[in-house]
Structure 1
Amino acid sequence: GTAPGSMSDSVEKQLAEASKGYLSKEEYKRKREEIEAQEALEKVRKAIPAVSVPVGGEGGGKKKKSGKKDRQPGSALSFGDELDGEAEPSPRVQPKKMGKCQDVDVSFLKKNEREAQEAAHKQEQAVRDFLELQQKAKQEPITLKYTFRSEATQRELPNGVHQGSITLPKGTTGEEVATAVRLDVEHLGEKFKLLEVAGKKEEPRLMLIVGASGMAIGSFIIPSAIALVEVASMRWSEGNSLFDDFKAGIIVTERRWYEQMRHTFPYSQWAVLDVHKSYSQKEFIANRNSGTGVDPFYRNGNIGKQRTGR
């Protein structure tokens, strides 16, 4: 018997070769159906012994000689020359076996095709629904309370930081959020505006940090290309929301300032968010209460020490 899935593997190989140049989904599906049907019929043919039928019931030596030459070697059943002209069929020929080819139930072909089409349709619809919901979510506005930290705020402001709020679509990326906050800070005055060189504004590298579990001083450094809607969907390993709709607020700082201050509080409490990692809220809170944040370097008793080589 044929191992389950072997026909599917063969179909996939043929389809990969045959579908080169097909542009539409309909052409791809039609070609797949043709290959599957052809392969199934080939299996039906192989399951039935081949029978070679002699041409002509009578004939002299020439016809007999021709019959020998035309016979296919290795046929499952064959007629000898001595049978030419006989009225009775060979007892080795079973008419019922020829009849089986007509009786083979090939309805499973249409059933398999239909099931494959239905499964493909459901999968395609699920993807469309997900993308539609994601697009709607990205367009929803969200108001974020922010804290901006930089060399200028440290030098010019009593608390060393500037706090404000900004409303953005949830589809905004981490880099875009940081840039919008930096521009919002410029209303504080000339000392907070970006420098211009040859008529072009300086573009400092910015960082977005989001607080978790009420940690307003910041917890995770957000990768620049990740959208707010994706960050908001992340969860603790215990199951609850990781960032709780940004209720702990966000922080924006310049990377060069962070590199200077990363060994001091609160910068030492921040760790880069790994979107593929599962974080434990219980462990996070324990580290927060001990003042070691989520960074393994400082968690190992290195508070006050400056990391090197990074």
Structure 2
Amino acid sequence: MSSSKAEGRREDALAKQREQMREEFERQKKNLINETEKARPSTHRFVGQNDSMEDTLKNSTVGLVHLEEFQQKRKELEEAKAREAARTNELKDDIKKVKKRKKTAKATLSFAMDDEGEDGTPESETQDPEEDLERSKKRGKFRKNPNVDTSFLPDREREEAERKEREQLRQEWLRKQDELKNEDIEITYSYWDGSGHRKSVVCKKGDSISTFLDRCRQQFPELRGVSVDNLMYVKEDLIIPHHHTFYDFIVNKARGKSGPLFNFDVHDDVRLLADATREKDESHAGKVVERSWYQRNKHIFPASRWEVFDPEKSYGKYTIA
């Protein structure tokens, strides 16, 4: 009998233990399911909280709906959205007003010690307005140290002044160069057909070689039927291209193989002292030649010495002592 009672108590204890184990298992199972659901990407995770008006209208008008009901529902949704937008704007305006009040409060913050005198009365009452004005000027002067070098700092006013000065200098330089180009220059040349026929013509310093050759062509009857392209200008054993101007040679102080290219008159070196270390101050007349004559005689002196002028090539410095 006693053994049966003990057996019954043991069965009850085992049943309770199994029930507790089952409840614990169910609890762990629920926790595991919840954690799995949290880790799993949801289809509604990237959907906005506020659906658009069209989506709300679709969800609220499922099935067959009369046209009047559909229009009424749409109108109600539009009014609700407008009210929500108005509340949002009012909230933004309130936030801006609060921020503005805070800034104003910070700007007007002051210390009572500066505004009151030693006896507790306001300083503006103890002093005259003229003294207040003078004192405010003194305070303004102490804000910056005028002895500090600030040239390395960016300054719009200084940069603008420098830019205007550079532009003014550039305009002045261009004006002077235009005046120089408009000056007259007498050019002595020799029409060369195997022998020299010397003449002179007046041109502007800014004229090109082609303009000069066109004027030379008018001075010789045998050249009037020849175009400018078939004429050549040879100066100091260099064939000068037609696009160059006399101004280019004058400004750059260019020199040729046998003399300067910036002197267009003819003169000899009349110094009595002969010194081989000093270059002679001589300028020779340039030659105007037909291109056909040059092609026939370019292997014969002096045409054999001629070559096309190259501004990149250095022909040496022409130094006159």
Q: Shorter-chain TM-score category? A: 0.3 to 0.5
> Rg larger in 1 or in 2?
2
